Amino acid sequence: MNSTVSETQATPRVGLIRKITWWVLAFPILLTVALVQHNYYLLDFTHVMAGALWTGTDIFMGFILGPILRRLAPEQRKAVINWLTPKTLLYVPVIALTTGTGGWFLANWAGMMAPHSPDRPWVILALVVLGILTVQGFGILLPNSIRTYLELQKPSPDLNKIFRLNRRNNMLAGFQGVLQVSIILIMAHLAVG
């Protein structure tokens, strides 16, 4: 028997708490520090870094991992999904909330939301796109991830259900990546004004 398989079988199931990507909580902490200190640089850094991670994750999931998963054997696909789902349960919502919240405060601090600002329509457009991303993320992607995780914990998980939920999430992640690129285009316009 392969030593990797026997080690995996001998290892007890690790709980969800140990599987979650906890380091991502650094972003709301940095955001809070930036807001309390009214530190524009730290706020901008936190917003841009969280946004880059969020956009990169969605593009990776939708356009790279999704097509790879479709070509894997069912057991391989299940193993990847079983490893990946807990890692993203906290990670994606935290970076999404940090990005949106940071962007809102940046726009306000820079005066872009003032009624007379020529940048206001661009910020409102970014907020509309962010609203679509938020509804999809918290209304579809996160609940699907939770359903997937719960299904994977069953003694005999329904692989068809898991694959269907995961396929839907990967397609939506690709769409979210496209929307996030549109926000980046808006941000680039705001940066060079």
Q: What is the reported pLDDT for 112?
A: 95
Domain residue spans of the chain = 23-192
The pLDDT, as a whole number, for residue 6 is 41
Asked whether residue 188 carries a pLDDT value surpassing 50, the answer given is yes
Q: Would you state the torsion angle of the CA atoms of residues 126, 129, 130, 133, taken in this order, to the nearest 10 degrees?
A: -160
Please give the pLDDT value at position 7: 40
pLDDT at residue 187 greater than cutoff 80 = yes
Model-level pTM?
0.83
Mean pLDDT of 77-97: 92
CA dihedral 25, 29, 30, 32 (to 10 degrees): 140
| Res 4 pLDDT > 80 | no
Candidate from 46-55, 69-78, 93-102 with smallest mean pLDDT: 69-78
Please state the rounded mean pLDDT for residues 30-54: 97
User: How far is residue 152's CA from residue 118's CA, in Å, rounded to a whole number?
Assistant: 50
Selection from 87, 103, 80 nearest residue 184 by Cα: 103
Amino acid present at 54: W
Gap between the Cα atoms of 57 and 175, Å rounded: 12
Sign of CA dihedral 127, 133, 138, 142: negative
Q: State the average pLDDT for the chain.
A: 89
